[in-house]
C-alpha cells in the first residue's frame, strides 16, 4: 500500500495544481498600482512622438508644411511619408495580406489616419507641435456604406491597388472589393432552400465596435547605435511575431531585435496587429539615436486602432415543418475600412466565420463573405473572441430565433431538436470543421432547469396579457443562447500568421533546490497566465505552483510563440506546458530509478514523487530528484533538469455553453434591466474555477456593453460620432448585473489535459443572449428581428414601430 489516502490528498492540495481556485499571483502588484506598463518605461534622453491625424475621411493630401512645428523649441523632427519612403517604410504589410499606409502617402482614407509624426523632447511640446503642422487637403467623396461600394459613382478608395484583379485572398471584382471567401456547398444549399417546407430569412447586422482596452496602445523603441541592437517595448499580444515583422521591415537581423511586452492592460484583440505608431517610434529612434516613446490617447485608440465586427450577415435557414433544420445559407458583407488589417490566420480572410452552423447538426450549408473597403478605420480584429466566432455565434443564434418565430415554436425546443448529439462527436460540420467533443443536451437541460424556463415563459405570457390590458408598460424578454466556439488556433498545417505556424511553446528549468521557472510564447493581458500555467505545471511535475515562476513577453528569453488571442493560450501554450512538464518527468524518472537503485519501470509517479512499486516507503520527491540532477554524476543522463516543448495542436478545441438572460424592458423609455443572467460554460478541464468565473464575469460585461450600446458609429461624411467614453459605452458597476455561473465538464480528447479555453466564451455567448432577450420581449407583438446595439432610443424605436405607444 502506498501512503495513506489522506496524505496523498494533502500533498495534492499543497501543489495548488489543476482545479484549485488559487488566488491570482499578478494581483498583488496590480491592486497596488505597481504594474509596469509601457507608459511606465522611462529611459534617459527619451523623446516623445505624437501624430498629426486627418480630420477628413477621404481627401487628397496637397501639401504638408512642417516649418512652424520645427521652429518650436524642443521639437526634434517631423516625419512624413516622404521621409519614410527611402526606407520603404511609408507603407507596411498588414496581417491580412494587405498593406497599410504608415503615414499618409498622397491621400487619407479615414478620419484619424496618421499623417505626420512629430518627435519632441516631451509629450507636451509634441502635442503643441502637432497643432502647428499645416496640412492642405482636397476633400474627396466619402464612402461609408459598404453596400454602395460597387455602385458606378462610388469613389475609388485604394488607388494603389485599383487595377489589381487579384488580392491576397483571390479575385477582386471591383477596386473597393477586397475578397470573396466561400465555404460549403452552394448548389446543394440552394436546392434545399428552394424545396424546403419552411425557409426563414433575415439580415443580421453585428455593428462595428471596438475592444477599447483600459490601456491604450503604445511603444518605446530604443536603437543602440553602438551595438546595433534595437529594443522595442510595446503593447503586443504577439511579441515574437512583432520581432519577425520588425526584422523583415527594417532589415535589422532578428537576433539584434529584442521585443518586450511588459504588463499589458487588456488587449481583447486590439493589440494583435502592427500599428503605424510602432513603426514610427522605431524609425524615430533610428533617426535620432535616442529612445522614442509613443502612447496613444483614448480618442486615438477608439478612432484609429483596430475596430471589431461590422458584419452584415444575410441568412436563410431551411427546415421541416416540425423544426428539423435542413440547410443554412449566409452571405456576409464585411466592412473592413480603409485597409484590410484583420488579424486572422492567413488562409481565413473571414476568420472562422464558417463555425456559423453553431451547435446544430445542419447537414448542408453555404457561406460567402465579401470584404469591402470603406472610409473608416482599419481593423476587424477578434474582440474577445476567436476569429469572427462571435459574429458567427450571433448570426446562428439569431437565425434560430427567427426560425422559431416562423415555425411558431418554442426556441429552446427548436434548439434541443437540432443539437449535435453527444454520440456524434467527433462531429464533421457542413462547413468543414471537426468538433472535438461536446454534450449539448445535458448542458441545455441543466440551464433550462436552473432558471425555471417553463415558469418564466408562463410569467412572460401573463405579462403580455397585462400589457395588452393596459396594466403595465413593461415587457419581459427571455434571451436564449447555446453557443459553440472554435478556439486554440491552430494546427500548423492550416493555421499561420504571416507564414508563422500557429504552434506555441514552453521552456522549463527546474532549479537545484526544487523550484522552477517556465517561459512561454504567449503573453497575458489580464488572463492570469502566471497563476494558471503554474497550476498546469504543478500537477505535471509535482512542484507547488507557488514555487514556479511563469515568464512571458521578452523575446530574448521566451521561446518563440504566436502570442495570446483567440483563446489560444491554454489550448496551445497550455498544452506545450503540460508536454514540457512530461519531458521533465520522464528524465526525473530515470534519475529517481538510479537513486532508488531500481529499474525505470519499477517506479511510478504519485503526485509529487516517484515511488517504488509495492514499496511505498521508498520514494524520491521531485525536489530531491532536482537536487540530484545538479549534484550527482548519473551515468547516461545529462546533468540538469530542463525541457522545452513546441506544441502543434492536432485540432482546434470547441468550448460551448448555455446562457439565459431575463430582461425587463420599459417600452416607453427604452430602458432595460437584466433581472437574471445564467451562464453555464463547458471549457473542458477546469484549471482554476475562480479565474474561470472572473473571465466569465468580465466577458459577459463586455457582451452587455456590445449588445446594449457600445458602437463605433460614423456619420455620412465619415466623421466618427462615438470617439470618447462619453458616447462609447463601457459599463460601470452600476450597469453590470449579477451573473449566476455554472458548468459542465467535457474534456477535449486531443488536448494533453483536456482543457479548451474560456476567456472569450462569455463574449461569444453573451451578446446573443442579451440581444435575444430584447428581441424576444417583442415577439408577441410581431417583431422578428431588430439590430443591436439595443440602447434606449433604439428599443424605444422598435416599440414605436410596433405601435406600442398608442
Partner 1 sequence: MITGNFEYHQPSSVPEALALLSDLGDEARVIAGGHSLIPTMKLRLAMPEHLIDLQGIKELKNIDVSNGEVRIGAMTTQAELIGSDELFQAAPIIRETALQIADPQVRYMGTIGGNVANGDPGNDMPAVMQCLDATFLLQGPDGERSVAAREFYEAAYFTARDELEILTEIRFSACEGGYSYGKQKRKIGDYATAAAAVLLTKGADGSCTAASIALTNLADTPLYCADASSHLQSNGVSEDSIASAVASAMEQIEPVDDNRGPAEFKKHAAAIILTSTIRQAWARA
Residue 715 C-beta: closest distance to partner 1, Å: 11
Task: Compute the distance between CA of residue 255 and CA of residue 435 in angstroms, rounded to an integer.
Answer: 40
Site string (613-652) toward partner 1, x via CB under 8 A: ----------------------------------------
Residue 735 C-beta: closest distance to partner 1, Å: 5
Query: How deeply is 501 buried, as exposed, middle or buried, from its count of CB atoms within 10 A (0-12, 13-18, 19+)?
Result: middle
The DSSP output letter for 419 is B
Residue 450 binds to partner 1 (criterion: CB under 8 A): no
Residue 121 binds to partner 1 (criterion: CB under 8 A): no
Residue 721 C-beta: closest distance to partner 1, Å: 6
Residue 732 C-beta: closest distance to partner 1, Å: 5
Residue 726 binds to partner 1 (criterion: CB under 8 A): yes
CA 607 centroid distance within chain: 35
Which entry of 217, 385, 506, 661 is annotated as an active-site residue? 385
Residue 598 binds to partner 1 (criterion: CB under 8 A): no
Q: Are strands 91-93 and 75-79 parallel, antiparallel or unpaired?
A: unpaired
Residue 75 C-beta: closest distance to partner 1, Å: 14
- Confirm if 752 and 539 have CB atoms less than 8 A apart: no
Is the preceding peptide bond at 471 cis, omega within 30 degrees of 0? no
Residue 104 C-beta: closest distance to partner 1, Å: 21
Buried b (16+ CB within 10 A) or exposed e, 772-789: bbbbbbbbbbebebbbbb
Q: Residue 534 or 799: which CB sits closer to partner 1? A: 799
Residue 213 binds to partner 1 (criterion: CB under 8 A): no
Residue 791 C-beta: closest distance to partner 1, Å: 7
- When binding is defined by CB under 8 A, the residue of 3, 14, 127, 161 that contacts partner 1 is 127
- When binding is defined by CB under 8 A, the residue of 561, 670, 747, 757 that contacts partner 1 is 670
Secondary structure of residue 174 in the 3-state scheme: coil
Containing 385, the helix (H) or strand (E) segment is: none
Q: Residue 3 or 713: which CB sits closer to partner 1? A: 713
Residue 112 binds to partner 1 (criterion: CB under 8 A): no
Q: Which of 44, 63, 66 is nearest to 104 (CA)?
A: 63
Task: Compute the distance between CA of residue 490 and CA of residue 344 in angstroms, rounded to an integer.
Answer: 11
Q: Residue 269 or 670: which CB sits closer to partner 1? A: 670
Q: Which of 231, 181, 211 is nearest to 272 (CA)?
A: 211
Which entry of 26, 215, 296, 760 is annotated as an active-site residue? 760
Residue 359 binds to partner 1 (criterion: CB under 8 A): no
Containing 274, the helix (H) or strand (E) segment is: none
Residue 294 binds to partner 1 (criterion: CB under 8 A): no
Q: Identify any residues that bridge with 99 across adjacent strands, giving them in sequence order.
A: 93
In this structure, the number of other CB atoms found within 10 A of the CB of residue 131 comes to: 12
Q: Which of 764, 768, 705 is nearest to 480 (CA)?
A: 768
Q: Residue 127 or 196: which CB sits closer to partner 1? A: 127
Task: Compute the distance between CA of residue 449 and CA of residue 435 in angstroms, rounded to an integer.
Answer: 26
Q: Residue 185 or 727: which CB sits closer to partner 1? A: 727
Secondary structure of residue 598 in the 3-state scheme: coil
Residue 380 binds to partner 1 (criterion: CB under 8 A): no
Residue 55 C-beta: closest distance to partner 1, Å: 13
Choices 141-149, 252-260, 347-355, 668-676; region in contact with partner 1 by CB under 8 A: 668-676
Choices 124-132, 170-178, 182-190, 754-762; region in contact with partner 1 by CB under 8 A: 124-132
Could you tell me how many residues of this chain bind partner 1 (CB under 8 A)?
A: 32
Q: Residue 11 or 123: which CB sits closer to partner 1? A: 123
Residue 669 binds to partner 1 (criterion: CB under 8 A): yes
Q: Which grid cell is 634?
A: 548519473
CA 721 centroid distance within chain: 25
Residue 610 C-beta: closest distance to partner 1, Å: 57
- When binding is defined by CB under 8 A, the residue of 60, 99, 123, 177 that contacts partner 1 is 123
Q: Which of 212, 193, 148, 194 is nearest to 174 (CA)?
A: 148
Residue 265 C-beta: closest distance to partner 1, Å: 17
Q: Residue 198 or 671: which CB sits closer to partner 1? A: 671
Ranges within 297-356 binding partner 1 (CB under 8 A): 297-299
Residue 33 binds to partner 1 (criterion: CB under 8 A): no
Residue 296 C-beta: closest distance to partner 1, Å: 9
Q: Which of 390, 328, 367, 381 is nearest to 769 (CA)?
A: 390
Does the CA dihedral 254-257-262-267 come out positive or negative? Answer: negative
Choices 106-114, 281-289, 613-621, 717-725; region in contact with partner 1 by CB under 8 A: 717-725
Residue 174 has, within 13 A of its CA and on its CB side, a CA count of: 20
Buried b (16+ CB within 10 A) or exposed e, 583-596: bbbebbbbbbbbbb
Angle at 728 between CA 724 and CA 730, to 5 degrees: 115
Find the DSSP H helices in 264-315. Answer: 276-288, 298-304
Ranges within 695-714 binding partner 1 (CB under 8 A): 709, 713
Residue 671 C-beta: closest distance to partner 1, Å: 7
Non-local CB neighbours of 395 within 8 Å, separated by 6+ positions: 204, 206, 311, 313, 315, 330, 356
> Is 237 in the active site?
yes
In this structure, the number of other CB atoms found within 10 A of the CB of residue 695 comes to: 25
Q: Which grid cell is 194?
A: 428552394
- Confirm if 238 and 497 have CB atoms less than 8 A apart: yes
Ranges within 727-786 binding partner 1 (CB under 8 A): 727, 729, 731-732, 734-735
Residue 596 binds to partner 1 (criterion: CB under 8 A): no
Secondary structure of residue 123 in the 3-state scheme: helix
The DSSP output letter for 569 is I
Task: Compute the distance between CA of residue 271 and CA of residue 623 in angstroms, rounded to an integer.
Answer: 39
- When binding is defined by CB under 8 A, the residue of 644, 671, 717, 804 that contacts partner 1 is 671
Is the preceding peptide bond at 426 cis, omega within 30 degrees of 0? yes
- When binding is defined by CB under 8 A, the residue of 113, 303, 524, 722 that contacts partner 1 is 722
Choices 36-44, 144-152, 311-319, 790-798; region in contact with partner 1 by CB under 8 A: 790-798
The DSSP output letter for 138 is E
Task: Compute the distance between CA of residue 678 and CA of residue 656 in angstroms, rounded to an integer.
Answer: 14
Ranges within 384-413 binding partner 1 (CB under 8 A): none
Tell me the C-alpha to C-alpha distance, in Å, between residue 292 and each of 83, 224, 230, 296: 17, 12, 12, 13
Q: Residue 618 or 801: which CB sits closer to partner 1? A: 801
Which entry of 24, 384, 398, 609 is annotated as an active-site residue? 384
Residue 114 binds to partner 1 (criterion: CB under 8 A): no
Q: Residue 633 or 726: which CB sits closer to partner 1? A: 726
Residue 226 binds to partner 1 (criterion: CB under 8 A): no
Which entry of 237, 460, 527, 695 is annotated as an active-site residue? 237
Residue 124 binds to partner 1 (criterion: CB under 8 A): yes
Q: CA torsion angle for 182, 187, 189, 194 (degrees, to 10)? A: 140
Choices 78-86, 165-173, 568-576, 721-729; region in contact with partner 1 by CB under 8 A: 721-729
> Is 760 in the active site?
yes
Q: Which of 370, 218, 197 is nearest to 280 (CA)?
A: 218
- When binding is defined by CB under 8 A, the residue of 159, 195, 458, 668 that contacts partner 1 is 668
Choices 120-128, 271-279, 315-323, 531-539; region in contact with partner 1 by CB under 8 A: 120-128
Residue 203 C-beta: closest distance to partner 1, Å: 22
Q: Which grid cell is 73?
A: 523649441
Residue 673 binds to partner 1 (criterion: CB under 8 A): no
Active-site residues, by number, are: 237, 384-385, 760
Interface ranges with partner 1 (CB under 8 A) = 123-124, 127-128, 131, 297-299, 668-671, 709, 713, 721-722, 725-727, 729, 731-732, 734-735, 791-794, 796-797, 800, 805
Amino acid at each position: 500500500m502506498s501512503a495513506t489516502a489522506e496524505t496523498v490528498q494533502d500533498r495534492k492540495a499543497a501543489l495548488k495544481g489543476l482545479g484549485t481556485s488559487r488566488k491570482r499571483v499578478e494581483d498583488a502588484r496590480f491592486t497596488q498600482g505597481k504594474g509596469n506598463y509601457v507608459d511606465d518605461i522611462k529611459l534617459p534622453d527619451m523623446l516623445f512622438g505624437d501624430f498629426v491625424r486627418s480630420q477628413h475621411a477621404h481627401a487628397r493630401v496637397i501639401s504638408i508644411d512642417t516649418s512652424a512645428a520645427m521652429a518650436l523649441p524642443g521639437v526634434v523632427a517631423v516625419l512624413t511619408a516622404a521621409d519614410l519612403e527611402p526606407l520603404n517604410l511609408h507603407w507596411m504589410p498588414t496581417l491580412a495580406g494587405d498593406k497599410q499606409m504608415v503615414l499618409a502617402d498622397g491621400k487619407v482614407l479615414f478620419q484619424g489616419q496618421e499623417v505626420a509624426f512629430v518627435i519632441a523632447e516631451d509629450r507636451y511640446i509634441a502635442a503643441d507641435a502637432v497643432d502647428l503642422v499645416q496640412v492642405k487637403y482636397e476633400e474627396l467623396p466619402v464612402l461609408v456604406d459598404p453596400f454602395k461600394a460597387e455602385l458606378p459613382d462610388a469613389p475609388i478608395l485604394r488607388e494603389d491597388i485599383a487595377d489589381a484583379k487579384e488580392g491576397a485572398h483571390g479575385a477582386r471584382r471591383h477596386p473597393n472589393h477586397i475578397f470573396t471567401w466561400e465555404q460549403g456547398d452552394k448548389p446543394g444549399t440552394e436546392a434545399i432552400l428552394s424545396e424546403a417546407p419552411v425557409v426563414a430569412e433575415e439580415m443580421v447586422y453585428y455593428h462595428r465596435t471596438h475592444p477599447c482596452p483600459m490601456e491604450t496602445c503604445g511603444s518605446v523603441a530604443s536603437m543602440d547605435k553602438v551595438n546595433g541592437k534595437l529594443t522595442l517595448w510595446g503593447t503586443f499580444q504577439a511579441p515574437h511575431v512583432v520581432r519577425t515583422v520588425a526584422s523583415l521591415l527594417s532589415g535589422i537581423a532578428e537576433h539584434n531585435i529584442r521585443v518586450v511586452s511588459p504588463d499589458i492592460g487588456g488587449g481583447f484583440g486590439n493589440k494583435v496587429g502592427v500599428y503605424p505608431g510602432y513603426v514610427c517610434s522605431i524609425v524615430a529612434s533610428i533617426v535620432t539615436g535616442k529612445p522614442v516613446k509613443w502612447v496613444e490617447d483614448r480618442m486615438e485608440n477608439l478612432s484609429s486602432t483596430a475596430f471589431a465586427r461590422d458584419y452584415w450577415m444575410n441568412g436563410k435557414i431551411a427546415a421541416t415543418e416540425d423544426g428539423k433544420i435542413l440547410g443554412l445559407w449566409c452571405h456576409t458583407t464585411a466592412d473592413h475600412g480603409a485597409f484590410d488589417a484583420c488579424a486572422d490566420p492567413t488562409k481565413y480572410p473571414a476568420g472562422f466565420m464558417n463555425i456559423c452552423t453553431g451547435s446544430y447538426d445542419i447537414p448542408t450549408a453555404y457561406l460567402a463573405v465579401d470584404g469591402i473597403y470603406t472610409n473608416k478605420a482599419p481593423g476587424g480584429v477578434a474582440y474577445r473572441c476567436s476569429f469572427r466566432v462571435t459574429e458567427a455565434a450571433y448570426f446562428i443564434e439569431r437565425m434560430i430565433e427567427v426560425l422559431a418565430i416562423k415555425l411558431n415554436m418554442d426556441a429552446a425546443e427548436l434548439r434541443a431538436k437540432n443539437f449535435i448529439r453527444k454520440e456524434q462527436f467527433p462531429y464533421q460540420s457542413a462547413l468543414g470543421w471537426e468538433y472535438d467533443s461536446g454534450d449539448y443536451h445535458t448542458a441545455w437541460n441543466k440551464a433550462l432547469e436552473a432558471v425555471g424556463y417553463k415558469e418564466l415563459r408562463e410569467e412572460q405570457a401573463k405579462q403580455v396579457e397585462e400589457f395588452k390590458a393596459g396594466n403595465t408598460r413593461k415587457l419581459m424578454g427571455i434571451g436564449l443562447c447555446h453557443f459553440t466556439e472554435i478556439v486554440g488556433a491552430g494546427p500548423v498545417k492550416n493555421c499561420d500568421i504571416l507564414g508563422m505556424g500557429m504552434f506555441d511553446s514552453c521552456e522549463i528549468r527546474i532549479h537545484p533546490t526544487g523550484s522552477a521557472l517556465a517561459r512561454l510564447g504567449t503573453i497575458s493581458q489580464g488572463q492570469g497566465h502566471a497563476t494558471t500555467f503554474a497550476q498546469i505545471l504543478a500537477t505535471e511535475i509535482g512542484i507547488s505552483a507557488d514555487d514556479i515562476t511563469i515568464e512571458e513577453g521578452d523575446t530574448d528569453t521566451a521561446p518563440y510563440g504566436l502570442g495570446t488571442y483567440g483563446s489560444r493560450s491554454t489550448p496551445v501554450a497550455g498544452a506545450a506546458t503540460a508536454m514540457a512538464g512530461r519531458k521533465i518527468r520522464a528524465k526525473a524518472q530515470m534519475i529517481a530509478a538510479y537513486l532508488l537503485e531500481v529499474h525505470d519501470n519499477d517506479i511510478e509517479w504519485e503526485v509529487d514523487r516517484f515511488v517504488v512499486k509495492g514499496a511505498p516507503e521508498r520514494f524520491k520527491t521531485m525536489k530531491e530528484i532536482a537536487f540530484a540532477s545538479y549534484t550527482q554524476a548519473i551515468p547516461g543522463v545529462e546533468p540538469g533538469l530542463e525541457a522545452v516543448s513546441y506544441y502543434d495542436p492536432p485540432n482546434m478545441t470547441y468550448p460551448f455553453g448555455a446562457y439565459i438572460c431575463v430582461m425587463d424592458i420599459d417600452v416607453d423609455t427604452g430602458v432595460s434591466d437584466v433581472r437574471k443572467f445564467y451562464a453555464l460554460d463547458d471549457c473542458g478541464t477546469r484549471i482554476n474555477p475562480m479565474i474561470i468565473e472572473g473571465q466569465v464575469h468580465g466577458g459577459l460585461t463586455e457582451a452587455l456593453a456590445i449588445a446594449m450600446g457600445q458602437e463605433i458609429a460614423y456619420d455620412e461624411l465619415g466623421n466618427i460620432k462615438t470617439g470618447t467614453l462619453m458616447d462609447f459605452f463601457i459599463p460601470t458597476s452600476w450597469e453590470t448585473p449579477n451573473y449566476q455561473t455554472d458548468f459542465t465538464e467535457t474534456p477535449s480528447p486531443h488536448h494533453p489535459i483536456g482543457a479548451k479555453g474560456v476567456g472569450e466564451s462569455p463574449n461569444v455567448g453573451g451578446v446573443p443572449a442579451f440581444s435575444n432577450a430584447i428581441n424576444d420581449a417583442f415577439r408577441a407583438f410581431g417583431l422578428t428581428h431588430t439590430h443591436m446595439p439595443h440602447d434606449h432610443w433604439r428599443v424605444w424605436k422598435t416599440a414605436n414601430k410596433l405601435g406600442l405607444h398608442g
